Structure 1
């Protein structure tokens, strides 16, 4: 079994790599990241250093995989931003800027979609999954609070792209479940500035959300997808 974790240098990504190894001890895990990584304690992990935002880099690596006749049973894309040196979640209309919107969409929407696009021919003719990290605030129906324009919109767009791609996957990779997964509020760099009002029981470790993610993966059936679910495997309205 081959597994790919994209964004494996982040808190959730590292935890997913470890959980995959615990759940599938005979698997080989490709840990994809823009940063050079070593996994001395996990010999089954093969680090892959490439620019995850570059379509050329993605295609080149997948061509190498194709030359080795590799197929992937599970792929998890854990990349995403809520804030960084370029953007902060907007509190009001006046905070919205074209530059910030572009940045949110580039990381949260375009990046995972490039992988969805090029992975379609790399799944086996048996049960498999492709999971992207989404967010409850990306639900259009569930939005009653407003704010966070760029983050909300980029995740909502990601959800739409996944749901649209699932139509095509049902023809071209019919055994593959497409999943938009809301991990909850995870104690990580992404959520650190926004944890003040989070109840302690709702602030999860990366290890916990990785366990829940793998449990969700194991419960999916491609005939019933695509899925938009949270860490408790409860359906979120699109």
Structure 2
């Protein structure tokens, strides 16, 4: 039986992914802040919780993250930058997944294909940035992409079949995006889950360290 670890499973996308995997008879372990007290911004909690999790997992997906932290909305201009708000974004969207990645070598199998995916965002792409704004969120996701890229290089040395990637889920109608969807095309969480699982299933070891969208297409760094 295949196994999966979904972090951020109380959110719209994470919950939908966990449900879809269970429908496919995958043995799913879930962690979230609201249900398990799994706070990605607390290194001691991350280390203690993951030390008690038994792998290996065929899929580890980090779906936790936020566009707003502690009520701070995305900046429309750098003139509105708040250092504490920026640090909060980095703590949750970049450092948190990095703390989980530190456990990847133990939680992934060495003898078969496995995927470690982190939900990133197209706005974290430096090459695709044509609008500006959202400084803190963009920068935290750009940092996350570098963390994934670097971790993939290290992981490949011991886990030859492992695939470590950043995934852009598209715009999804969740509480996370409700105020920001506007006229952008958006999909329901279940459709996003189906797309992301299909994209991850199509990846191979040569794709490790990459940044892909929900359709499996590469996203510029």
- Verify same fold: TM over 0.5: yes
| 8 Å contact kept, 1:4–1:72 | yes
Q: Does the aligned pair in 1 maintain the 2:150–2:209 contact within 8 Å?
A: no
Q: TM-score, normalised by structure 2?
A: 0.94
Larger radius of gyration: 1
| Residue 150 of structure 1, aligned match among 124, 128, 136 | 136
Measure how far apart 1:84 and its partner are.
4.0
**In the alignment, structure 1 residue 92 sits paired with structure 2 residue 92:** no
Equivalent residue, structure 1, for 2:5: 4
**How far has the Cα of 1:72 moved from its partner?**
1.0
User: Where does residue 59 of structure 2 map in the other structure?
Assistant: 74
Out of 194, 216, 220, which is 1:233 matched to? 216
Change (3 A) 1:216 1:234: same
Question: 1:61: how far off?
Answer: 2.6
Structure 1 position 64, deviation (Å): 2.4
RMSD: 1.4
Query: 151-160 vs 215-224, which deviates more?
Result: 215-224
| d(CA) in 1 for partners of 2:37, 2:139 | 29
Listed as ranges, the matches of 1:2-151 within 5 Å are 2-23=3-24, 25=25, 27-36=26-35, 48-66=36-54, 70-124=55-109, 125-151=111-137
User: How many residues matched?
Assistant: 219
Q: Deviations over 1:167-225 (max 9, x none)?
A: 10110222210111111110011111112222xxx211000110011101111111332
Q: Is the 8 A contact 2:152 2:165 kept in 1?
A: no
Task: Extract unaligned runs of 5+ from structure 1.
Answer: 37-47
